Amino acid sequence: MAAVSPAARADRTIAGVTKPDDHVLVVFGATGDLARRKLLPGLWHLAETGMMPDDYRIVGSSGDDLSGDGFRELARRAVEEFGAVAPADGDWAAFAARLSYVGGAFGPGSSEPLRRAVEKAESELGKARRLFFFSVPPVAFGPIVRGLDEAGLAAGSRVIMEKPFGTDLASARELNALVHSVLDEQQVFRVDHFLGKEGIQNILALRFANGMFEPVWNRDHVDHIAIDVPETLTVAQRVGFYDATGAFRDMVVTHLFQLLGFLAMEPPPAMDAAAISGEKVKVFRSMRPLDPGEVVRGQYDGYLELDGVAGGSDTETLVALVAHVDNWRWDGVPIFLRTGKRMGADRKLVTIAFREPPRQLFAFADAAARDDRQNRLTFDFDERGGITASFLAKKPGPITELERATMRFGYESLGTGILEAYERLFHDAMVGDKTLFASAEGIERLWEVAAPLLDDPPPVQRYAQGSYGPEPAIDDLIAPRRWVLP
């Protein structure tokens, strides 16, 4: 195999980022789907872009019986399939040498093997920080937290916890109490990978770095906001989890409400974690408890025939709702959220729709321009998304008529400078930056907001696969306004 030139590797280095201290990173659930698709390829990409510590060790842990060589081979296959940089195009040998593995259960009474592995890694590094990633179901959080305490590994460590953070207010409080019995809140990083996306972070930049936007980011100028995340995926590969969870718990409380906090927050006094988290929690406190009458729950045709779905299941595979933030900035501005499976497209859009002028002085060139005349800012927060401004402009020619026009900023041409969401969040946790992570207080407040819907959900309505939800309910929810998609 030909050696990779220093120049080729230098091209991937991202300059100006904070270098983490030396670290021992432990990934619980290291042979699972998330680790294969995101975590292991992400750590490799961070290493190749110069964002890992000068020295580090990665310890994989799961119940699978693997040797160290077996885990390194699993990591290589994961990078080959899902990584941004192929192993052959980087210094794979140096990365693989830092990987080790501990198999078997971990928890009280079974913590010794991992404790020895962590101590061995620390002895090789000297002074180093510890970071644990819980890529496991929530039912395993308790045993792992107690195992860390028993092994003496909790003190001074940081812990990344993968969602979900409970299933209702009572379970969220119970989970937080368990975690806080061993770990201080400052040690806990509750990961929401949506917040690690470039498009989401650009909402803050657009608002607070540009004088033309923040003055109109309020009820006087904004007619409504829509957060629309349709997916074409089926749930066939994770029926057991999904039939017990549904679209609302899976996507809205843990993802879309967190995004709403960024959209609706007041300008923070500083762009640091404490200030931004505080402003987000203020938004959550201002949210009106959900009205089940402003919620549409859908279930795609064929869902009940999937193996593992309970007979007559009322689980929603789509949810759309209206949220209200009852404060001075947003009073009277409806915020529409929609997400679901087996829909007509895979998109991740935030749309800010502005109020129309009080009088329209110009003729329209066609019916499309007349019927869709609101000015809009649309944030596409897919991995290679962008920002689109949609407005009315004069149609070229001797007649003064209006037609739709757009201007767009995109990330498509920006090579390896773009980090995948988990990569950004892994790096932030290593340097102790909690800006893009959820807090215990915020999570509990969102479950309070959700309580009326969880207590009295409307019945599910069928929708065709490849559609955008049950008709006419999905359009009636937003009427007289319209969804941007389809």
Catalytic residue among 23, 45, 255, 324: 255
Helices (H) and strands (E) in the chain, counts: 16, 17
Show Cβ contacts of residue 60 under 8 Å, excluding neighbours closer than 6 positions.
26, 27, 30, 31, 35, 66, 71, 75, 99, 100, 101, 102
Q: DSSP characters for 238-267?
A: GHHHHHHHHHIIIIIIIIIHHHHHHHHPPP
- What token pair was written down for 389? 């401004």
User: Alpha-carbon distance 268 to 279, whole Å?
Assistant: 6
Q: Is 427 a catalytic residue?
A: no
Which residue bears the tokens 């729709």? 353
Q: Is 282 helix (H, G, I), strand (E, B) or coil?
A: helix
Contact (Cβ atoms closer than 8 angstroms) between residue 54 and residue 82? no
- Angle between helix axes 198-209 and 257-264 (nearest 10 degrees) is 20
Whether the CA torsion 437, 439, 444, 448 is positive or negative: it is negative
Phi and psi at residue 462, to the nearest 5°? -75, 145
Specify burial of residue 39 (Cβ count, 10 A radius: 0-12, 13-18, 19+): buried
Cis status of the peptide bond prior to 289, with omega within 30 of 0: no
- What token pair was written down for 281? 């929690």
User: Alpha-carbon distance 21 to 53, whole Å?
Assistant: 6
Contact (Cβ atoms closer than 8 angstroms) between residue 286 and residue 324? no
Catalytic residues: 255
